[in-house]
Structure 1
Amino acid sequence: MEFSHNDNNDLPLTKFESMLKTNHVLFFDSEEFENIIHHYLNQGKIALAKKAIKLGLDQHPTSINLRLFKVEVFVFEDKLNEADTLLNELYNLDPMNEEIYIQKANIFSKKDEHQQAIEVLKKALQLTDDVIDLYSLIGMEYLFLDQFEDAKTYFMKCLESDLEDYSALYNIIYCFEFLNQNEEAISYLNTFLDKNPYCEVAWHQLGKQYFVLDEYKKALTSFDFAIISDDTFVGAYLERGKVLEKLNRFDDAIENYTITLKLDEPTSFALLRIGTCYEKLKKDDLAIQFYNRTVHEDPLLDKGWIAITKYYNRKKNYPKALYFINKAINIDSENVKYWKLYAQINQRLKLYEEAERGFKKTLELGNYELNTWLSRGDLLIKLGEPQAAIYNFEQAIEFYSENAELEYRLAGLYFSLHENDKGEFHLKNGLKYNEEYAFIIEELFPEISNRILVKNLLKAHL
């Protein structure tokens, strides 16, 4: 039983807490202790639960249920050996108690021995008529093993036993999605909806499956039914808005996103999508208003800062774009996307040292895209730092071997430093990998392309 302060059921709890304050020991029957402990565990008040277990066992030392709570706390605290020892004692006393098997499975699960946990839970199934929780636990263990078909089977058993077990429904759809079985998910959801036609969660999930398959009209119909089933379902309005955007019905999308702002606290996602829709409708003042609201609502949402930065980028208002991306970097200096934009904007502003710094930071944060290496290296060439450029391109070759664009750049750099043997080596590599990129020599190193050695090498291959 869960205690509630709105009725008289909390009398044992009040009495227990009063006892703790006065140190005057009062008597409770074992069931009252069980309810008190259950309440504290649900509230996450482990210290109070442990006090109740100790006092309960002092008064009822033979109670198996109270000792099972002790096992549960041991498991929570990762005292798995103590839990296992106590469980073995309890098993000898009551081998038909399914809760003993559940806690044993919990220990196996904690040890990442999920197959053993499943075997124990299946034994527990034979001891009880209350199977729904056990089906769910078995399903979760199969998820830990990435055995999605088996997991799906057990979550389906949960839902067959209780049509309103939406947690099981979400897990079933998760399994379908992981297995890329969108069509099968649609078939399953339609069958489920035949039995439970007003289940807004199922309609919502059905719409998401149709959306993945680009069947936007069917998705729209599904979200309509979700809203008919529950006209306060924020998720359905958000998904409906996304579909309407795909159908280029931006005014209708804005209407759906706006409804969510009235139903619940404004979400940065809805504000961002409204801004995007207004930009598509060329209502720039409203677009920028909602982009600003997005970053104000959730300064940690990178999509908001990126949207407002790219907006000014598209308008070629690079100083304003730089202003916003600097604000974003001040909030999260480890975001690769921010640094890439920072580098690109500075490059357009001809602030080459800052642009190079941006690309360098992007690489340091693990973004090893070829274009990042090329852009940074070309900036180092422009800044008159050939050795740094060489080091940059040689690092890049570790990730992109046999890449002509890198080889031609290295050839030009080595020739410019009069290291002709290395220059010739890289030029021949470039010509071998892709002759079409030979223009890089003339474009980036015009003085090199006129040298006799280089001309002869090019003439021999082109």
Structure 2
Amino acid sequence: MPGVDLAVVQFTSNQKYQVATLANYSLNTKDQKVFVSGFPGNKQQNKNKPHRILTAGVLSEQQSIKFTTYLSFNNQSSLIPVRIQTVLSDGYDLLYSNITKGGMSGGAVLDTQGRLIGIHGRVEGEISLDFDGKINLGSSSGIPIRTFLNLVQQVGIDSDLKVETTAPATLKKSEEDVISEYLLPLDEVPKNSDDEISWLNYANQLWRSQKYAEARKAVDKAIGKKPDFYQAWYFKGMIFRREEKYPESIAAFDKALKINPNFAQAWKQRGRVLLRLDKYSEALTSFDKAIALSPNQFALYFLRGFTLRYLKRFPEAIEAYNQAIKIDPLFKSAYSGRGLSYGELKKYRQGIADFTQFIQLDPKDASYYNLRGLYYGQLEEYKQAIADYNQAIQLDHNDALYYISRGNAYLMLKDYKQSIADSTQAIQLDPKDATYYLVRGNAYFRLNDYKQAIDDYTQAIQVDPKDARSYSLRGGIYSILKDYKQAIADLTQAIQLDPKDAIYYSLRGSIYSNLKDYKQAISDLTETIRRDPKNAPYTMQGLRYSEFKDNKGLLSGYTGLMSKAYATRGVTYYELKEYKLAIDDYTQAIKIDSQNAEYYAFRGGIYSFLKEYKQAIDDLTQAIKIDPKKATYYHLRGTTYLQLKDYKQAIADYTQAIQLDPKNATYYGGRGFAYSQLKDYKQAINDWNQVIKIDPENATYYSARGDAYFQLKDYKQAIDDYSQAIKFKPDLTLAYSAMGNAYLQLKDYKQAINDYTQAIKLDPENADYYYSRGFANYKFKDYQQAISDWNQAIKIKPEFPEAYTNLGIVSYEMGELETAINHWRTAIKINSNFAEAHLALGIALYARGDKEAGLKSGETALKLHKRFGKIEFLKENNWGDKLIKDSQEFLNNPRIKGLI
């Protein structure tokens, strides 16, 4: 099978074969001794008696780039780490320093216990020179035996292979020395007269023996003999690369390429070194040069895709990986890179398909079950994600990352106890990762176990005191616990660590607003708005807008962050009575999040407060449209209709609020008031009964029901309610006044006077209470006390025509005609349309003999209100006997009678 190093074939034979013991364990141990056995294919080899050679070497770490990225789940405030290792391989996953020669491909790679760990493939460098056959420069590479075992499993062969999974014991130094002496022999140092190829061959042996400084000297000897020896310059670059002297390595590769610009391998290795220097654009140029020269190397397309992914040119990266897979469909690293690129484009389904393909090629690699699980998590398919995490843990139960991934999935499923269990296991395995404490802290937070959550966030801070998220999360819990001082301290620390992140200013601003430190609140919320992540270089949770704009969950969080910043600042302006600024901020919040009903409701509330009722109703109607199940919005709109005296519409809204929340006393109270305004007192009483049933100790409700009974002239029931109101609130002034009114109607003037007196004690500057008590004293025939009360009322409220009119009435009864006339004239001066004062003045003038003036005043009164022409009405208005008697003669005058 030409060109194939490893295959699974079926055959039959009559011969018996010795079957090797296979070893399948982690081969990532650097400097582990390994042996390669094979038959060199040089021209001097005897084909009938091939000579097997055995060379020793050490395992090399593949050039790989390890990085940690973060995935954020839709309703998570913290990010979950995803550790990814991408191997920059050529498709061979086993690298070793053994000297191998052409023809050895397909030979055995053995560990120190003689167990087969791989099949030799080729040399990384792919350089051939005419010197005793072929010399290969670079690490040797092979295929791990686990690849064979995976293929066996896939084709369904039931083999009796002997497979061991334990790593070999560490060699003693004496054992290593023996191996080095017999299996890592170095040729004699070439003579100065030897040619450049001899020196390069010697440098190659030194390099494989990890004697890099000596290897460089040998290469320099070769270059000294032939300055345009581009292979030597190339190999010098390889030596520098192994020493991690990357600038020097680039310089050497550049020299080789200057001599031979068509040297594809040098372009390739140059690109790999540039990746180490994070020079991705330059690396891409090198890989493109190599591809142009050697278009059939699938590894070059993989490297191109890898580089494009780092440059965030994900569609191009995917195309490069497609090309690599087209050339070699079994190249699993290409599926890995393509899957990660799909993830960056939020195409998680395609990413899952690629990770599934990787898993089929290598079902024992736990990390890709974890990655696939994370993608399922992004799709909110948490049960499927957990199944993958379970598989990852089964394959590698000592990796904390798999437990924390599963713990986060359980968190999303609200299985907080299981989340805590997994997070705890992750912490036990890796107590130095702060993120694990954050995940567990989040689970405790969801269980309202704030103390444990704080402990975990504190531990995260101790592990990583530079992570602003930990301070922010802990500050959030302190805020819930109303420990605002500590909350502000934590958020201040978060801001110091990450001043570009808007969310920390928002949280601190909200706390300052709660503390009524409005100046500081506005400052922080303004900073939040200024740090909108749409404006570089600001971020949210450490991410730029471009990095999360396609993530549904994070984008929702961003919308909430910015709109809430305006809304909270709007509340703060409202508290400062800066109503226009408050409205402006809520308008801005609505522009950002037009489906947030609360923003419309709050703005509507401000409009209502400003008596801009139409605008208020428009906003509250919009809030109801967005969230028709929110009783509060109907209540607010009903209250606004109440202000507009649209009582029927108010009742309709209160009724809807009651249907949604039948246990809220306020809604019944509002409807009861609306019914009262429509004089539907029985229905009002029904609502107040329900209010009192819900809240039986609220004095205001008893007082309101008492008012309804008063209007129905059920004065005794009204008095009972007012008494109950006073029981629950002894300083409820209005209840005393109202009860006085009820006693007045029952003609219990003494008790009425007592209640008015109590009201005056509680509110001595209220003119109405003196006025009412004056009236009770008048009915009690205590005219002097009545006069005193009405004078006091006028002292408090000089523009009080009713009080002057009553003073005139009592003065008239006392025979003080001129005094009465003066009082009525004063009342008319205050209110020229006060009909009662005009009529009383007319009667007095008529009785005094000034008949024309009296008739004119009477005519004015009756033109204002004809009801004053009825004696019964005057009696109901509590006119005195003397004034009633004189009014009968006056009203019988033909001029007056004609107006009645």
**TM-score normalized with structure 2 length:** 0.36
Is structure 2 residue 457 aligned with structure 1 residue 291?
yes
Q: 1:63 aligns with which of 224, 229, 232?
A: 229
Match of residue 565 from structure 2: 372
Query: Larger % of strand: which?
Result: 2
Change (3 A) 1:76 1:393: farther
From 290, 293, 300, the counterpart of 1:121: 290
Q: Could you tell me whether the CA contact under 8 Å between 1:101 and 1:124 is conserved in 2?
A: no
Say if 2:370 and 2:392, in contact at 8 Å, map to a contact too. yes
Residue 321 (structure 2) pairs with residue 172 (structure 1):
no
**Equivalence for 1:149:** 318
Cα shift at 1:332: 4.2
Q: Kindly tell me: are residues 195 and 149 of structure 1, through their superposed partners in 2, closer, same or farther at Cα, counting changes over 3 Å?
A: closer
Among candidates 206, 220, 229, match of residue 395 of structure 2: 229
Task: Give the greater-gyration-radius structure (CA).
Answer: 2
Which of residues 351, 373, 377 in structure 2 aligns to 1:211? 377
Shift of 1:243: 1.4
Aligned-partner SS, 1:226 = helix
1:32-431 maps to which residues of 2 (within 5 A)? 32-33=202-203, 57-58=223-224, 61-68=227-234, 77=247, 87-91=257-261, 95=262, 97-102=263-268, 112=281, 119-125=288-294, 131=297, 133-143=299-309, 144=311, 145-146=313-314, 147-154=316-323, 156=325, 160-161=329-330, 163=332, 165=333, 168-366=334-532, 369-373=562-566, 375-376=568-569, 379=572
Are the counterparts in 2 of residues 353 and 383 from structure 1 also a CA contact under 8 Å?
Answer: no
After TM superposition, the structure 1 stretch with the greater mean CA deviation from structure 2, 258-267 or 315-324, is: 315-324
TM-score scaled to structure 1, two decimals?
Answer: 0.65
Distance in 1 between residues matched to 2:341 and 2:370, nearest whole Å: 16
Contact 2:287 2:300 in 1 (8 A): no
Task: Provide the rounded CA distance (Å) in 2 between the counterparts of 1:318 and 1:401.
Answer: 26
How many Å separate the matches in 2 of 1:266 and 1:325?
23
**Change in CA separation of 1:445 and 1:330 when aligned onto 2, cut-off 3 Å:** farther
CA contact (8 A) 1:30 1:66 kept: yes
Q: Which runs of 5+ in 1 are unaligned?
A: 12-27, 406-433, 450-458
Q: 1:273 & 1:263 partners in 2: Cα distance?
A: 15
What amino acid is aligned across from residue 227 of structure 1 in structure 2? I
How many residues of Structure 1 are paired with residues of Structure 2 in the alignment?
385
2:274 touches 2:282 (CA, 8 Å); kept in 1? yes
- Residues 90-121 of structure 1: per-residue CA shift (max 9 Å, x gap): 24xxx5x4324436878999694888655533
Query: Using the alignment, how far apart are the partners of 2:260 and 2:571 within structure 1?
Result: 72
Q: Cα gap change, 1:103/1:277 in structure 2, threshold over 3 Å: closer, same or farther?
A: closer
Q: CA deviation at 1:314?
A: 2.3
- For 2:199, the aligned partner's letter is D
C-alpha deviations, 1:183-221, integer Å up to 9, x for none?
Answer: 333334334434433221222222222222222222111
Following superposition, the deviation at residue 353 of structure 1 comes to 2.0
Superposed CA deviations along residues 256-287 of structure 1, whole A, max 9, x for unmatched, are 11112222233111111112222323333322
In 1, distance between residues paired with 2:423 and 2:429?
10
Tell me if structure 1 keeps the 8 A contact 2:207–2:215. Answer: yes
Task: Please state how far the C-alpha of 1:150 moved relative to its aligned partner.
Answer: 0.9
Q: Residues 382 and 281 from structure 1, CA distance in 2 versus in 1: closer, same or farther, beyond 3 angstroms? A: closer
Task: Work out the CA distance in 2 between the residues paired with 1:253 and 1:366.
Answer: 33
Q: What's the CA shift for 1:310? A: 1.4
Structure with greater proportional helix content: 1
User: Counterpart in 2 of 1:30?
Assistant: 200
Instruction: Name the CA shift for 1:212/1:59 in 2 (closer, same or farther; >3 Å).
Output: same
Deviations 1:126-155 (A, max 9, x none): 68xxx4642422323554444143133145
SS in 2 for 1:254: helix
- TM-superposition CA deviations, 1:219-276 (whole Å, max 9, x none): 1111111111111122211111111122222222112111122222331111111122
Once the two structures are TM-superposed, the CA of residue 70 in structure 1 deviates from its matched residue by 6.2
TM-aligned CA deviation for residue 385 of structure 1: 8.6
Cα distance in 2 for partners of 1:201, 1:435 equals 49
Paired with 2:372 and 2:592, the residues of 1 have a C-alpha distance of 48
Q: Is the CA contact 1:359–1:372 (under 8 Å) kept in the aligned structure 2?
A: yes
Structure 2 vs 1, CA of residues 264 and 364 (structure 1 numbering), >3 Å: closer, same or farther?
Answer: same
What is the letter of the counterpart of residue 565 of structure 2?
T
Q: CA deviation at 1:179?
A: 4.0
Task: For residue 29 of structure 1, give the secondary structure of its aligned residue in structure 2.
Answer: helix
Distance apart, 1:345 and its partner CA: 0.5
Q: Which residue type is aligned with residue 125 of structure 1?
A: S
